Amino acid sequence: EVQLVQSGAEVKKPGESLRISCKGSEYGFTNYWISWVRQMPGKGLEWMGRIDPSDSYTNYSPSFQGHVTISADKSISTAYLQWSSLKASDTAMYYCARLLFGYSSNWFDPWGQGTLVTVSS
Amino acid sequence: QSALTQPASVSGSPGQSITISCTGTSSDVGGYNYVSWYQQHPGKAPKLIIYDVTKRPSGVSNRFSGSKSGNTASLTISGLQAEDEAGYYCSSYTSSTTWVFGGGTKLTVL
């Protein structure tokens, strides 16, 4: 079964750094992109950006460019989302999702289980 | 990039059909056949239910169907069941080589 398994919940203070992970299994990790999606408490989904694990090319939503960094280590089939200085407004659930774009098709599937990030002093 | 526009809520009785709209622009929904829909139950991760406007992944009920006209895409759920009560989100590729989601629609099965 194709799966994305994310790292566990995090509680951090403002100004701290953080990296969360998303490990793919049962598929060719470099054959698909990985996207990150934010869901703030009680709110909708927001596309943050994506990475091509085969060459680590990334592109970001303008809303998140410069605020987060997406990376990947294809040797261990894992993608990452990181912050250098967290803010309280970063408190949210973060999902990774496998992204297909090409061959005249586009979808996000499957999704990881989500990582809850809480930033509070 | 503004979120695609969806109604905040819709409701229907068991057995009825409902339609959720998703309105964008010619730079996203209207410009590409890359609209997908996701179902999210409370406390769960989203699940793909429609992709490429009209296609259904294996294992998704044929009660779910998608369509598009101009800058508006639609998700129709026929034969409503209690288990359909959830949040629904549309998504589209955009001309900025990014993706955008709709604001989400809460479906209540009466």
* Partner-chain contact B47 A111, CB within 8 Å: yes
Chain B contact present for A58, CB below 8 A: no
Parts of chain A with a pLDDT under 50: none
Q: Nearest by CB to A105, from B1, B3, B51: name it.
A: B51
Q: What is the DSSP letter of B84?
A: G
* Interatomic CA distance for residues B24 and B68, integer angstroms: 11
Chain B contact present for A40, CB below 8 A: no
Q: pLDDT tens for residues B12-29?
A: 999 999 999 999 999 999
Q: pLDDT tens for residues B32-56?
A: 999 999 999 999 999 999 999 999 9
Q: What's the pLDDT at A111?
A: 98
Strands, sheet with B18-23, edge to edge from the N-terminal-most edge strand: B18-23, B72-77, B64-69
Q: What's the pLDDT band for B10 if we cut at 50, 70, 90?
A: very high
* Interatomic CA distance for residues A113 and A103, integer angstroms: 27
Main-chain dihedrals φ then ψ at residue A29, nearest 5 degrees = -60, -35
Predicted confidence (pLDDT) at residue B1 exceeds the cutoff of 80: no
Q: What's the pLDDT at A104?
A: 84
Q: Which stretches of chain A are DSSP H helices?
A: none
Predicted confidence (pLDDT) at residue B2 exceeds the cutoff of 90: no
